[in-house]
Amino acid sequence: MQKKLVQSSLALTAAAALGLGGAFVAGPAAAGPQQVLTEQQAVKAAKNVDVVNAFGFDEKTKTLHLGVEGEADVNSKEIKDLKKKYGAESVEVVSGMKAAEPYAKNDAVGGMGYLSEIPSQPGFLGACSTGFAGWDADGKKLVLTAGHCAEDDAPGNLVTPLDSELPSTAPAVTGDYEEGGYDLQNIGPLGEWGFNKFGSVATDPDNPDEANEDDIDFAVINVGDKYNVKPEITDWQSASTNDLSGSTTQITEVGAHTSGAVQKSGRTTGLTSGEVAADELWPFDYQTVGDRWVHGFGVTSAVGNDFSMPGDSGGGVFQGNTAVGVISGGVPDPVTVGGETFMWGWVADLDYSLEQSGIDFQLTDPNEEPPGDDDANADAGADAKDAGSDAGADAKDADSDAGADGKDADASAAADADAKDAEADAGADGKDANADSDAPEAPEAPVVDDQKVDEGGQITGKTEANAKVKLGWKPVAANGEQSSNQAQAAAEGTVTVTADADGNFTAEAPSEAGEYAYTATATTDAGTSDPTEFTVTVEAAAEEADADTDGATADADSGAESDAGADSDAGAAADAKNAESNSDSDGSKDGEAPAERKISIEPKEVAASDFVKKDKGVQITVEGFEEGENVSLEVVAGPENVEGITLDETANENGVAAFSIYGTNATDPSAYLGKYDVQVTGANDTDDEKALAGSFTVVADEDGNGGGSDDGDGGDGGSDLPRTGAELTGLAAGAGLLVVGGAAVVLTMRRNKKN
């Protein structure tokens, strides 16, 4: 929409707004002398002046309005040249127009919030808000949002939708605008990106075609089968139930914004109110957002009552029951104009964005059945008895009752046929069932037995294929007191692993001997299972060493005459000399017993302030490999959930490989707090060889002496992770890890879930 522009000489002392690249609708070239300013000339002139942060053209008065940041910019040579060329009366300049920054894709946002992975910044999650939900002309489900929420580091490079955000822990509920939110609903991504546009950048001053009509901040999500859409906007009153559709305002039309009150819903600040900026205050149709232009309108609100904040990007802006825009951005600091101070927000106007994008957006479902059929289609879980009683019911009605008992749908021959169709379609997706009729059930509780393992050994279990299995543990006391094993047991903790295609999963046991009480839950797209409880006993390292020695002896004696009393390494070596060589199978040299695999981690506990020093990081040394063998170290778990990253080294002539790990962010060592579990394998490993396993812990400092312990709040790297202004999540937000050889490694982490 093109706003009516009114000349104004008000001095804006601190104004700015978020917007995307925008341009005026190019007008026809005007005949006459060069000094007569046309709209196309105005657009080109405004975009070619570096200091201009906002502009608008009043067709009636032929006046170009320019917004700049400082008083010095008002008298810049470029602006003086414009006034000289077109006349001082044709160029109106106001100061105080700061270049605004877009609400970053990494912000947590929402009418309802949704989260995306950022390909250019592995480990970071971006959060934005949905604007409005509806359908296109073909009945396909759509969600509208801001274009900059879809874009990664350049136009055409898109972020990857991950999941909707858990409403009950979003900043709109908790008020924690810095650290709140980022918890997954565990439903899955909203869908896939459709149309998206985030303005344009002025790159060629000599090209008048840069003045594009489609400089909008607007994107469409093609919603997947896991979600339904409702043409409503949440007021966040039902957030505690994690169902934002429980308290909403119905949206009945899309229209142009009008003067007066306006509201917005987003995941950071929830439901807020403001006033549409009057033309006298803001005689511009475009606002710079970063280095781009966005078509839209401004909104003011009282200081302390921000209309929007980072994370609200894409959130729906509405007046009554009319959708008028989506949040493009805003200014974090108060703005003062004519003695009045207020907060400033910028809205990408929806009617203009839809017009420019060509998106046919509807607020009623074209697939909706005529009155009378709604109940049959929507009641997908109804008893088959209801379907069977109507012998003439069509297959669609029977399909809706796909999960019903076929024998109850047997009232007549026609109903029986329908019931068979229903049974055949029992596995159909939501599209066939019409309303989540066959939604999958949450997985069964994992199957895990009580286990006895060595230090660094593996815990095993069974669940659904590819399920996420969360394991939690704590030491077990015997009769209210510590058992002999318990005296050494490590502190409680959690780890999440992924089951393979057959449902098998493994996890590293605690690194300290002791008896541990475990719980395990499995999570899929359908939900989370009930917990399974079991006990894990970790044997002391000495017992493991004895077991390894016995195993080495047995291998050395393979093929030789048995020496029942030979338990020592010397006896094993002697027998091996008389045995046929097994070097090809056990990795040893001819006539030698294979070297014992060992892993050494020093220190096992390191203060955060030391961890960020290259010479005081964690040293991991492994031995027992073949000379020249590729040795891989994998970080299998870390603070809450670190995705596996593999580091490779080559074993030296002694079969030894070494890794050095330290933090690179000395400005905020606390970003690294938590326990890190590692596993080491060799390229020549056989199927029955176990990975070497160990762990180290980065702890908080105590009195600056490098000591400290986990206080249970953030020690696992969750909510205590630092955030940048772009609201980046993950270990990468605080730091990366650097390994020997200079290869930079970033560990990817999801934030802690709040239970």
How many Cβ atoms from other residues are within 10 Å of residue 753's Cβ? 17
- Which residue among 296, 325, 357 closes a domain? 357
Q: Decide if 371 is inside a domain.
A: no
Q: At 574, phi and psi to the nearest 5?
A: -60, -45
H-state helical runs in 425-540: 430-433
CATH number at residue 521: 2.60.40.10
Band of pLDDT at residue 386, cut at 50, 70 and 90: very low
Res 202: pLDDT: 53
| CA within 13 Å, CB half, 506 | 10
Largest CA distance in the chain: 112
Mapped onto helix, strand or coil, the DSSP state of residue 646 is: strand
Same domain for 140 and 267, yes or no, is yes
Using the 8-state DSSP alphabet, how is residue 240 labeled?
A: G
Domain check: are 73 and 123 in the same one? no
Omega cis (within 30) before 603? yes
Q: What is the model's pLDDT at position 141?
A: 92
Task: Examine the domain organization and report whether 456 and 524 are in the same domain.
Answer: yes
Residues 6+ apart with CB under 8 A from 143: 130, 131, 132, 133, 190, 191, 220, 221, 223, 229
CB neighbour list of residue 694: distance below 8 Å, 6 or more residues apart: 456, 511, 599, 601, 604, 620, 677, 678
Residue range 652-674: average pLDDT? 77
pLDDT of 148 over the 80 cut: yes
Tell me the CATH number at 708.
2.60.40.1930
Q: 157-196 in b/e burial notation, b at 16+ Cβ within 10 A? A: ebbebbbbbbbbbbbbbeeebebbbbbbbbebbbbebbbb
Mean pLDDT of 596-612: 85
Give residue 262's pLDDT.
Answer: 97
In the prediction, which pLDDT does 404 show?
Answer: 35
pLDDT band at 728; cut points 50, 70, 90: very low
| pLDDT at residue 509 in the model | 82
Distance CA 42, CA 321 (A): 36
- pLDDT classification of 610: cutoffs 50, 70, 90: confident
Task: Compare 151 and 664 and report the one with higher pLDDT.
Answer: 151
Q: In this structure, which amino acid lies at residue 569?
A: D
Question: CA-CA distance, 87 to 673, in Å (whole number)?
Answer: 63
User: So what's the pLDDT on residue 272?
Assistant: 96
**Looking up tokens 């981690």, which residue turns up?**
601
What is the reported pLDDT for 664? 62
Domain annotation covers residue 440: no
The strand pair at 657-663 and 618-623 is best described as antiparallel
The predicted pLDDT at position 633 comes to 84
User: What pLDDT shows up at residue 383?
Assistant: 42
pLDDT value, residue 163? 94
What global pTM score does this model have?
0.42
Q: Are residues 330 and 191 in the same domain?
A: yes
CA distance 560 to 493: 46
Whether the per-residue pLDDT at 561 is higher than 80: the answer is no
In a domain? residue 592: no
pLDDT at 397 over 80: no
Query: Percent of the chain beyond pLDDT 90?
Result: 26
Q: What is the pLDDT of residue 526?
A: 81
For CA atoms 194, 195, 199, 203, give the dihedral sign: positive
Distance of alpha carbon 732 from alpha carbon 730, whole angstroms: 5
Q: Which DSSP string corresponds to 694-746?
A: EEEEEE--STTTT-----SSSTTSSTTS---TT---SHHHH--EE-TTS-EE-
Please tell me the distance from the alpha carbon of residue 54 to that of residue 281, in angstroms, as a whole number: 13
Residue 461 lies in a domain: yes
The reported pLDDT for the residue numbered 93 is: 92
Asked if 455 and 506 sit in the same domain, the reply is yes
Sheet holding 598-602, edge to edge: 598-602, 618-623, 657-663, 737-738, 744-745
Segment 269-295 shows an average pLDDT of 84
Q: Which domain holds residue 425?
A: 381-431
Among the listed ranges 128-132, 168-172, 428-432, 663-667, which one has the minimum average pLDDT value? 428-432
10: in domain: no
CA distances from 27 to 24, 114, 143 (A): 8, 39, 32
pLDDT of the residue at 645: 60
CB atoms within 10 A of CB 743: 10
The chain-wide mean pLDDT, for the chain, equals 70
**What is the total residue count of the chain?**
755
CATH of the domain at 33: 3.30.300
What is the pLDDT, as a whole number, of residue 289?
73
Q: What is the pLDDT of residues 702-713, one digit of tens each?
A: 644 333 333 333
Q: Are residues 512 and 570 in the same domain?
A: no
Would residue 367 count as lying in a domain? no
Residues 669 and 558 in one domain: no
Query: Distance between CA 366 and CA 136 in Å, rounded?
Result: 8
Question: Would you say residue 327 has pLDDT above 70?
Answer: yes
* Predicted local confidence at residue 149, as pLDDT: 93
Among the candidates 99, 128, 162, a domain finishes at 99
For residue 290, what pLDDT band results from cuts at 50, 70 and 90?
low
pLDDT at 112 over 60: yes
Judgement on whether residues 296 and 151 belong to the same structural domain of the protein: yes
Residues 625, 510, single domain; the answer is no
275-286: average pLDDT: 83
Q: Does residue 2 belong to any structural domain of this protein?
A: no
**How do residues 578-589 score in pLDDT, each as one tens digit?**
333 333 434 443
* Same domain as 604, residue 570: no
Higher-pLDDT residue of 197, 734: 197
* Closest by Cα among 738, 635, 752 to 125: 752
Domain count, the chain: 6
Q: Is the pLDDT of residue 266 over 90?
A: yes
Residues 628 and 710 placed together within one structural domain of the fold = yes
- Note whether residue 238 is domain-resident: yes
Q: If pLDDT is split at 50, 70 and 90, which confidence band does 117 have?
A: very high
Q: Return the percentage of the chain with pLDDT > 70, whole number.
A: 64
Residues 235 and 338 placed together within one structural domain of the fold: yes
Of 586, 617, 645, the one marking the end of a domain is 586
**Three-state helix/strand/coil letters over 593-621:** CCCCCEEEEECCEEEHHHHCCHHHCEEEE
pLDDT of 418 > 50? The answer is no
Q: Note the pLDDT of residue 270.
A: 95
Q: What is the pLDDT of residue 389?
A: 39
Mean pLDDT over 166-187 rounds to: 90
